[in-house]
Structure 1
C-alpha cells in the first residue's frame, strides 16, 4: 500500500526521485498520468491495468464524458521506470499540466501515489485539514468509523 508524504526536487532534466519506501510498492513497471486538481497520478502496473479496464468498459460515443476521461487519463499516460539513482523522468507535458516547479511532494494514496507541486500541495492539504471535522462527521453519518 502506498502511503506517506515525501518532499523531493525535480532536476533540470525533469527527473524525480521516487521515495525509497514506495519503490517496492510501485514495482519495476508503473504508469504516470494526469490526475485531478493539478496533480499527477502514479499507478503500479497492476492497478493501472485495473483502472484502464474500468475506463474501457464505459460506453464511448461522440462527445461523451467517457471519451474525455480516456483522453485525460490514457492519452496522457506514460510508462515510468526507475534509473540507478532511484529517479524517473516526468515528461514536460505532465510537468506542465501539474504546474510542477522544482519542489514537489510525492504522496501515497493507497492504490496509487500522487505528485504535487509543493506550494499547491500545501494549499490543498491545509484546506483538507480545515475541513476534516466536518468531513469526518459526514462520513460517520454515512456509516464510516474511524
Structure 2
C-alpha cells in the first residue's frame, strides 16, 4: 500500500526521484498517466491491469465512457526507474500536471500521485477545510 507525502524536484530532462518507500511496490515497470485534478497517477502493473479491465467493461456506446477512456489511456506511458531511482516523465504529462520544478509525490492506497507543488498546496488547502464534510458524505465507518 502506498502512503505518505514526499517532496522532490523534476530536473531539466524531466526526471524525478521516486521515493524509496514506493520503488519496490511499483516494480520494474509501472504506468504513469493523466490523473484527475491535474495530477499524474502512477500504477504498479498489477493495479493497472485491474483498472484496465474495469475500464474495458465501460459501454463504448456512452459518450462519457469513451471520453474518459480516451483521456486516461492516451496519456498512459509504461515507465521504469533508472539506477538512481528516477522516472523520466514524458513532456506531455509534465505539461498536463504543470510540473516545472518542485513536486509533491503522495501515496494513495493502490497508486502514487505526482502533483506540482503549487497545485497540491491549493488542492490541499481547499480540501482540508471540507475534509469533515467529505468524510461524512462518503465514509460509512468509524475512523
Same fold flag (TM > 0.5) = yes
Q: How far has the Cα of 1:133 moved from its partner?
A: 2.2
Identify if the C-alpha distance between structure 1 residues 54 and 139 changes in structure 2 by more than 3 Å, giving closer, same or farther.
closer
CA distance in 1, matches of 2:135, 2:51: 27
Number of residue pairs matched by the alignment: 143
CA RMSD of aligned residues (A): 1.2
**More off after superposition, 18-27 vs 63-72:** 63-72
1:94 aligns with 93
Q: Which runs of 5+ in 1 are unaligned?
A: none
Q: How far has the Cα of 1:126 moved from its partner?
A: 1.3
1:55 aligns with 55
CA distance in 2, matches of 1:68, 1:134: 30
Normalized per residue, which structure has more strand? 2
2:125 aligns with 126
**What TM-score, normalized to structure 1?**
0.93
Structure 1 segments, 4+ long, off by >6 Å, are none
**What TM-score, normalized to structure 2?**
0.95
CA distance in 1, matches of 2:104, 2:41: 12
Q: How far has the Cα of 1:139 moved from its partner?
A: 4.0
2:38 aligns with 38
